[in-house]
Amino acid sequence: MSATVKQMLEAANAAVPRITSAQAREMIAKGNTLVVDVRDPSEVQQSGKVAGAVNVSRGMLEFRADPESPYHDKNFAKNKSVIVYCASGGRSALAGKVLKDFGYEQVYNLGAFKDWAEAGGAVDKPSG
């Protein structure tokens, strides 16, 4: 049975709770939280990213999140809370669902980077 993007997003949004910037700030302050920007590097270069976030483009997420992968990023640990975001919330919803499928239990979708920035969230400015 084939799926549409709309169906995939509905399933992802049902599996991954959406959180507000304020909730994300609280989680980050408590520690043991990984923030993942799943936008492409060119997007991050233009706008910056949530302070302390790791940028793993959506296309590389599975390779970075899987401990069995030779490309595994040690920042990913299943005992951490993981907050994902992108430009509008769609890619981060799909990314969150993938992380859930990989066994990450505490996964949250922050949604759009611009909402974080407009809410006064700390931002690492682009270099260059």
Picking from 89, 92, 31, 101, the residue whose alpha carbon sits closest to that of residue 65 is: 101
Tell me the average pLDDT across 37-62: 96
Q: For residue 1, is pLDDT > 80?
A: no
Structural domains of the chain sorted by starting position, each given as residue range(s) with its CATH number in brackets: 5-120 (3.40.250.10)
88-117: average pLDDT: 97
pLDDT band of 128, cuts 50, 70, 90: low
b/e 95-123 (16+ beta carbons within 10 angstroms → b):
bbbbbbeeebebbbbbbbbeebbeeebee
Average pLDDT taken over every residue of the chain: 96
pLDDT tens digit string along 2-46? 889 999 999 999 999 999 999 999 999 999 999 999 999 999 999
pTM of the model: 0.95
Decide: 85 and 92 in contact? Cβ < 8 Å. Answer: yes
